[in-house]
Chain A
Amino acid sequence: MPRWGMTIDLDRCSGCQACVVACKQENNVPFATAEDLDAGRGIYWMQVLARVEGEWPHVRMETMPMPCLHCDDPPCTKVCPVDATHKDSEGLVQQSSARCIGTRYCAQNCPYTVRFFNWKKPEFPGAFANYRSPEVAIRPKGVMEKCTLCAHRVKDAQDRAHREGRRALRDGEVTPACAEVCPGRAITFGDLDDPGARVSELARSPRAFRFLEELGTAPKVFHLRETRHGDG
């Protein structure tokens, strides 16, 4: 059984937002209107957070691409009163929009704030309805949703491999939408339990770290620290 994970190389991320848009498109996440943004209700399964510190000219800017980190010990799943969110057999933290009753407790307990609530019915006005993807269901209002690490792509690839008589996927055979479009190739997806997989190689690198590791959530999405020319 694979244990899916991801690495995001901050050295290769330019904050261009391609992953954010590709994710929205792939997963039928509606765009945020100005009012949504103003109220803090945009939905971004993948987003790039930024923080600026220091004084001119000694400034530092952190850019953090932040999908759901798919914790190995997810704090969100255990607080759900109806088991609408759970870690599945391949390690992905999934959210069932059909089971969810909308208590938003999981969102409260997610230290990364990467769970999103449908404050209203998702809207695809006019001809925008045409570009909705058939792969992913559009969630109704009143339920939570979040990054699935493109589990639908994984499942489709597994079905395909099965049809071809293979039991497991090859490394790199399946990529989430964010990784697919990334101009810097900053995002790597794969099986963390496969020691030869590119993703586990990167996750073992000394540059790898996990956000808020001190909370013991054990994310399966690793970030790789930035370096500068001439560093080690």
Chain B
Amino acid sequence: MTDRLTITVTVNGARHERAVESRLLLSDFLRHDLGLTGTHVGCEHGVCGACTVLLDGEAVRSCLVFAVQTDGHAVETVESLATDGVLDPLQTAFHDAHGLQCGFCTPGILMTLVPWLRHHPAPNEVDIREAISGNLCRCTGYANIVKAVELAVSRLADGRTGGPAGARS
């Protein structure tokens, strides 16, 4: 069965029309067909959260969505966060708080947090930990991830954005 369907999907604001096999996972579509390799694949059974992307603005695991299901929808990946090489406030906070080590799980964590912070502008530590409880990290022990989110939250509250890493890319 080589069931190929043509889909039109908006990824990071750009429309893409592609013929895909119905079984193609969204994670593979993004990484292989579109070359957006910032979305990482860690378990392909929906536990590790590394492949988290936004589907119509909500965080989902791209290994548990078929690419064909995104026909007519909008997807955002980690590549959408920085603008012209300038890190967004959350990325900047991760840099400043040493919130990543190997960085493999990081895109998934960022994409989980981006919409969540919109709905939770003043979270406490437990809230933050719950929000990322579906993202496994083997390097950091999570402490600096939590600190990074707290830092981003406090800066956003102060109306400050950007940071020292923003100038470099």
Whether A associates with B in a native complex is no
A residues neighboring B (CB under 8 Å): none
